[in-house]
Amino acid sequence: MKAATIAYLIAYNVVQWLGWLALAVLISLHLYQHGGDCRGLVDEVALPMLILHSTTILEFVHAILGISKSGPVPAIMQFSGRSFALFVALAISEVRHEVSVTVFMSAWVALECIRYPFYVASLVGSPLYALTWTRYTAFIPLYPLGYGAEVVAFFAAMGKVWESGQLSFDLLGNTINFYYVLCVYTVVSCFGFFQNYTYMFSQRKKALRKRKTT
């Protein structure tokens, strides 16, 4: 890999790492100052969360261009899934104050605060075994925690949009209640979660076995 490409990837991952760390601080401070009350939290972190999340589409581009080891399919699946969850949380005002939204955002933040320093360490040398182990172990509880919270938020949203008709749209002359979109997406996302989760287990096995033999 060319030195310029490595320098770019290091810079990208460092910026992402610092951004997600800052977001972790914002979330922690809000919860501490409000005694664990998550009301108003999404309003505080929505903009930085959207900015950081939006830039992660570059990881799909990196995979397509072959300048990262990540696969394009897992990258775009994660980006799409988080995009939909953020859209639901931000577009439906009654949902953004749900505890489940705080939970899935916190799970994302925790994962990224581990993932990006691992990538930086991998680019500049060989990451410590402890960092490798954490990178490929933290997802085991955090993935289902985050996804489960997303599903809870979707169910909360279903009740709101069914009653209000919010986010309904016209398709071929028919009005489609967004409730049905949520239902279909929730079912389909189960398969996406299973694929990503099992993919990470296969990556974990490879990464930890490689470290044990080096």
User: Which residues belong to the active site?
Assistant: 143, 150
Alpha-carbon distance of 81 to 70, in angstroms, equals: 17
| Stated length of the chain | 214
Q: Are 94 and 160 in contact (CB under 8 A)?
A: yes
What backbone torsions phi and psi does residue 40 show, to the nearest 5 degrees? 90, -10
Alpha-carbon distance of 167 to 10, in angstroms, equals: 40
**Which residues have C-beta within 8 Å of that of residue 110, sequence separation ≥ 6?**
24, 138, 142
* Closest by CA position to 182, among listed 202, 207, 152: 152
> Can you point out the beta strands (E) in the chain?
169-171, 174-176
Q: Is 139 helix (H, G, I), strand (E, B) or coil?
A: helix
**Which residues have C-beta within 8 Å of that of residue 211, sequence separation ≥ 6?**
129, 132
Q: Are 115 and 135 in contact (CB under 8 A)?
A: yes
